Each structure stands twice: as structure tokens, then as C-alpha cells.
Amino acid sequence: MIHIVFEQSNVEALKKAIGLDETLQGDIIEIRDDFAVGPLTAIYETEGYQQRRDWWKMVLEFSPDADQLDIVDDALTVYQLLKRLDAETDEQVWIWMGQNAHDVCSYYWLMSQLKEYQGRIQVLYLNNLPFINEKGSLFYPTSLSEIQPKEFLKAKKLARPITLSEFEVDPDEWKKLCDENALIRFLEGGKKLVGKELDYYDRDILTIVNFGPQKLLKLLSTALHKMKVKTGDAFLAWRIREMILEGKLEMVGEWSKNWKDITIKLPGGTGEMIEIAETE
């Protein structure tokens, strides 16, 4: 059995679950790109792949993850997966995804390359399903990492083969999104994705920025905590950089040195540091 997930936090969550249930034993493969943001034109071609890498290089510039770009090669990961499926004809693949644009976009990107293996590819989509949290209350997770390890034992019952019909329809839906090439994709429900403008997340940032300077790291943490629709911290930091260039925000510090030394405020604000209170 081969498990596929789409974020490092999901890898760790699934490892803990496997430790509780030997029937889940298998290798875990992570698809690392976040296909919910960035260009998708000709995504399976060399030119499109390079365009996407160049975009990520721009976004990740000055971020703590800037050096990670060169070790991310999802195309090679899939190539190795296909070779293994050809060599081990009894091998099964389980694709795990939560109800979020990151996972659903990655699912579309991946499954569009797996039609030849129909019948051996299972999907577990935790779509509008209740689970029990650490406090014993029901909740609806949007990410696999939110689920307690023991709850994965319930989740595994959701595994089902991707149907031949889905292998016909879903790649067409993905192709439409790639052709549209919006730089942000939003999950409306089920597997329905729609494109959004590049400034879609700007309002989430602006709602917590004050006239007094705030530490960038604290600002990012608060934004990600409060946002109903999540994205990555590097993408948000890049949008902050763009808003500074547009005159919508002001900063003190140098991007080339360190995120932790940067403060952000609204134009015309004071120099007095503002502490952001995180609320549930």
C-alpha cells in the first residue's frame, strides 16, 4: 500500500495513525507543491513547469523556505511512483485529501496522471464529515492534520476506488482551471474549484494590520489563525511585500536579513509597537 498526502503535517498525522493500525502499513509519499496558488498553464510541459518554478522562486525570495525550492520535484516523485506501479502490479495507492483547495488541486494534478492504473487508485476525501477532537466534541476538519490518530481508523473506511467516470471528468475540470490560469483557486464545495483574483487574501491581511507597527511573524501567525480559507505563510508574506510596493502598507526592516526583524503598519501610523491579540 502506498499512501499519498499533500502536506508535511499530514505525513506526520498519518504516521501516527499507522502506528495504531497495522492494516494501514505502507509507504507515505508527499506531493509538496501547493497547486491552489500560482500559474498552471501547460503544467505538465517543461515550459509550464519552469514558469511555475520561477513564480515560486519570486514568492519564496527572502522567506525561511527559499532554499527548499531546489529539493521539491513532484514530477520526479510521480515518475518514480509510476515506475513502481508498473513493477509491482498488485500495489495499491491511497490518496488522502481534506476539504481544502490545496488538497483538491493537488488531487486533480496527480490523478490526471494515473488513469492507466484505474482500479488500483483509492481516494479518501474527508468532505463534510464529522470527527471527534481532543476535547471530545464533534468538528468538521478541513485538513488531515486536524484529526486525532485514532480517528484515522474511522477515516480509512472511506477509501473507495476512483471510478472510470471520474478519470474521464476530473481531468477535464482540472484542464479548465489550468487554461483559466487564475493565480488563486478557491474550493466552493465538494471538488468544485473557482479562480480568484491575486489580491483575494489581501483583505485578511488588512483586517489585522494597525497604524502602529507589528512584527511580521506575529502578523502572519494571527492572519493564518483567523482566516477561514487558509493559504501558506510565504504567499501571505509575498502579498505583504506587494502591498508595500503599492503603498497600501509600510514596513521597517530589510527583507534580505530576516522576517523576524520586520515590522508592518498602515501608512501614516505611529512608531509605537502594537501587540496583536489572538482570539478564537
Query: With bands split at pLDDT 50, 70 and 90, how would you rate the model's confidence at 271?
Result: low
Query: With bands split at pLDDT 50, 70 and 90, how would you rate the model's confidence at 279?
Result: very low
**Strand residue runs (E) in the chain:** 2-5, 27-30, 93-98, 121-126, 131-132, 138-139, 160-161, 184-189, 192-196, 214-215, 250-252, 263-265
Q: Coil, strand, or helix at residue 274?
A: coil
Tell me: pLDDT of 280 over 80. no
Q: Residue 224: which residues within 8 A CB-CB, separation 6 or more?
A: 230, 233, 236
Mean per-residue pLDDT of the chain: 90
- pLDDT value for 269: 62
Domain ranges of the chain: 2-177, 202-265
Query: With bands split at pLDDT 50, 70 and 90, how would you rate the model's confidence at 278?
Result: very low
pTM equals 0.89
Could you report the per-residue pLDDT of 155-209, keeping only the tens digit for each? 888 899 999 999 999 999 999 999 999 999 999 989 999 999 999 999 999 999 9
- pLDDT value for 234: 92
Query: What number does CATH give the domain 2-177?
Result: 3.40.1360.10
Higher pLDDT, 261 or 171: 171
Tell me: pLDDT of 224 over 70. yes
Q: What average pLDDT does the segment 226-253 reach?
A: 93
How far is 248 from 52, CA to CA, in rounded Å? 27
Query: With bands split at pLDDT 50, 70 and 90, how would you rate the model's confidence at 257?
Result: confident
Tell me: pLDDT of 276 over 60. no
Q: Residue 79: which residues within 8 A CB-CB, separation 6 or more?
A: none
- Among 146, 145, 84, smallest CA distance to 120 is for 84
Q: What average pLDDT does the segment 205-223 reach?
A: 93
Q: φ, ψ for residue 154 (rounded to 5)?
A: -80, -40
Could you report the per-residue pLDDT of 12-40, keeping only the tens digit for each? 989 988 888 888 899 999 999 999 999 99
